[in-house]
């Protein structure tokens, strides 16, 4: 039946639960209303013991789903420090290999080739042999002053006594005739203008002191500040820091000798441009001298 109100016919009110349990054996009102048919609600699930669990529940509580964790991307920048180390090591290794190859090549070259590679060097043995060979009509050893085609001289006729060349540094000019004999033994003779600054003179002296087959002295009227001589070779430079000085010494000291094994000790140690005749030398004086 329906209840009529001033507002018109209303639907039957819903069943309100009073909190009291339904009588045993009775079915819920909903089941009676539907005649026991399903109303579209999900049937209760059963637990392992056979007890029914309200639909949508498995253990009394609905399990919470964890939100997926988004991976955090860590930006790894380039390790420039390690890269720099690798590059430096690579350059060092290449340098060592390159220098080793260069050293092997250099050691395999003859001293003549090393001398020829020096920029500005003059090889009078090839360009003007007359500046090296004994003067016409004379022996290699002659007393008295001699005339030289090249100054400072690089060879030709000379005195029978040599200038001591055991790393000697002379502070005054010496006789050409004795110095040329030292060149014949394989010495390198460094000459310089008397007005060369003292610090430049000292740098040259450091290359001479304590080194056999080396001597040094001032020389008047040089056209360049410094001139180096070996038998048949000459190199002129403007500064004692010129790297070619060391190259000249390395290539020609001892090697340029035309009397291999001849000594540099026991020679003249006095200065002065006049040769000292009749001083015992390494060869017999020519007859009639």
Q: What is the 3-state secondary structure (H, E, C) of 78-112?
A: CCHHHHHHHHHHHHHHHHHHHHHHHHHHHHHCCHH
Say what the pLDDT of residue 64 is.
67
Say what the pLDDT of residue 96 is.
80
**Number of neighbours of residue 94 by Cβ within 10 angstroms:** 10
pLDDT over 50 at 221, yes or no:
yes
Say what the pLDDT of residue 67 is.
73
pLDDT over 60 at 139, yes or no:
yes
pLDDT digits (tens, 9 = 90+) for 92-115: 877 787 666 555 555 679 999 999
Higher per-residue pLDDT: 46 or 148: 148
Query: Which residues, at least 6 apart from 184, have a Cβ–Cβ distance to it below 8 Å?
Result: 140, 155, 158, 162, 231, 257, 258, 259, 262
**234, 235, 238, 239: CA torsion to nearest 10:** -110
Higher per-residue pLDDT: 159 or 86: 159
pLDDT digits (tens, 9 = 90+) for 160-216: 999 999 999 999 999 999 999 999 999 999 999 999 999 999 999 999 999 999 999
Lowest mean pLDDT among 4-8, 81-85, 243-247: 4-8
Say what the pLDDT of residue 95 is.
75
pLDDT-derived band of residue 85, with 50, 70 and 90 as boundaries?
confident
> If you average pLDDT over residues 112-131, what whole number do you get?
98
Q: How far apart are CA 188 and CA 154, in angstroms?
A: 10
Q: Which two tokens stand for residue 248?
A: 């000249």
Q: Are the C-beta atoms of 208 and 186 separated by less than 8 Å? A: no
Query: Which residues, at least 6 apart from 120, have a Cβ–Cβ distance to it below 8 Å?
Result: 235, 236, 237, 244
Q: How far apart are CA 161 and CA 285, in angstroms?
A: 10
CATH level 2 (architecture), domain 118-252 = 3-Layer(aba) Sandwich (3.40)
Angle at 238 between CA 267 and CA 133, to 5 degrees: 45
pLDDT-derived band of residue 7, with 50, 70 and 90 as boundaries?
very low
β pairing state of 214-218 and 188-192: parallel
pLDDT-derived band of residue 287, with 50, 70 and 90 as boundaries?
very low
pLDDT-derived band of residue 30, with 50, 70 and 90 as boundaries?
very low
Domain borders along the chain are: 84-110, 118-252
Distances (CA, A) of 282 to 172, 263, 265: 25, 9, 11
Q: Are the C-beta atoms of 147 and 177 separated by less than 8 Å? A: no
pTM of the model: 0.63
């Amino acid at each position: 039946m329906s209840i009529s109100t001033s507002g018109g016919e209303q639907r039957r009110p819903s069943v309100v639960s009073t909190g009291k349990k339904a009588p045993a054996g009775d079915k819920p009102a909903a089941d009676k209303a539907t005649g026991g048919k399903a109303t579209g609600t999900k049937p209760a699930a059963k637990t392992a013991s056979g007890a029914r669990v309200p639909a949508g529940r498995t253990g009394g509580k609905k399990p919470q789903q964890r939100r997926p964790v988004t991976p955090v991307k860590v930006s790894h920048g380039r390790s420039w420090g390690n890269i720099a180390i690798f590059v430096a090591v690579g350059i060092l290794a290449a340098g060592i290999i390159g220098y080793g190859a260069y050293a092997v090549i250099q050691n395999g070259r003859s001293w003549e080739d090393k001398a020829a590679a020096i920029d500005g060097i003059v090889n009078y043995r090839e360009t003007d042999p007359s500046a090296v060979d004994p003067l016409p009509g004379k022996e290699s050893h002659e007393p008295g002053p001699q005339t030289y085609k090249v100054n400072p001289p690089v060879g030709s006729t000379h005195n029978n006594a040599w200038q001591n060349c055991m790393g000697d540094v002379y502070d005054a000019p010496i006789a050409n005739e004795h110095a040329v004999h030292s060149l014949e033994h394989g010495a390198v003779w460094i000459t310089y203008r008397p007005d060369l600054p003292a610090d430049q003179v000292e740098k040259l002296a450091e290359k001479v002191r304590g080194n056999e087959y080396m001597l040094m002295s001032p020389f008047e009227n040089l056209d360049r500040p410094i001139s180096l001589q070996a038998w048949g070779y000459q190199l002129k430079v403007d500064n004692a820091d010129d790297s070619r000085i060391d190259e000249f010494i390395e290539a020609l000291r001892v090697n340029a000798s035309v009397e291999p094994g001849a000594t540099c000790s026991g020679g003249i140690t006095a200065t002065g441009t006049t040769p000292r005749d009749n001083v015992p030398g390494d060869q017999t004086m020519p007859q009639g001298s």
